[in-house]
Amino acid sequence: MERRSELQSTLRIEDVPTVRAMVAQKLREAIMSGTLKPGQRLVERELCEMMGVSRPSIREALRALEADGLVNTVPHRGPVVSTISLEEARQLYTARAVLEGFAGRECARINDPEVARRIGDALTRLKAAAAKQDLVGCLEAKTDFYGALIGGCRNAFIERMLKPLHDRIQLLRITSMSQPKRINKSLREVTAIWRAIQSGDADLAERCCVDHINAAAVAALDMIEKSSAAKEAAPSDD
């Protein structure tokens, strides 16, 4: 009996993704790519038809995404893709500057050539996508750039704290990166980060990360303010 129990423990497959997990991942990808836009209603019936799954699976997935801050339930409207307020954006970028500045410093201090190579590969793809005005390609390459940077600091707690921040900021990045002036400036900033990490200059890497995040914050906050002003100026349907 004990032998059978040990064998069962060894052979049991625990990590089979549930339908809810697969639905949540598909919806997450749609939000991250901008297919589902901030403020857009997520109608359960429509999602069931599009995804070919049951309503309970959709509801469970939406609850999981709400816990991650990507979906918000609005009274009398139901679930919508989350939007970010001006104050929330300020707080997000402030926290990100502290954490990612540290990640950049550690990444440069450790000075692993393989990490620098992964960051450089993502940067190359980002430049190529920007040249083709491929927004989805830019978003994917930037995600890989930050993933390599954060992973390169070898601090699991920093990585866990930064992931939800990046998920939320992605909602802003979709719009800001569609602005030609911002993407070109962002390319120069992330190139400086890569060079500092490649050279092992911890002080410079931290400074470049913080400068990049502060510049991104200025662009994002300006975008939110303009969007809010436009909504206030728009005529009411009442």
Question: What confidence tens digit (pLDDT) does each residue in 45-90 have?
Answer: 999 998 999 898 899 989 988 888 889 889 988 999 988 888 999 9
pLDDT(179) > 80: no
* 74 close to 38: Cβ distance less than 8 angstroms: no
Does 158 have pLDDT greater than 50? yes
What are the tokens at 127?
């430049």
Q: Which of 228, 207, 215 is nearest to 87 (CA)?
A: 228
Give the residue-averaged pLDDT of 143-159: 95
84 against 120, higher pLDDT: 120
Of 39, 37, 28, the C-alpha closest to 83 is 39
Answering whether pTM is above 0.85, one says no
Q: When comparing pLDDT for 135 and 93, which is higher?
A: 93
Query: Which residues are within 8 A (CB) of 121 and not within 5 positions of it... i.e. 6 or more apart?
Result: 144
- For residue 14, is pLDDT > 70? no
pLDDT value of residue 21? 84
Per the prediction, the chain carries an average pLDDT of 86
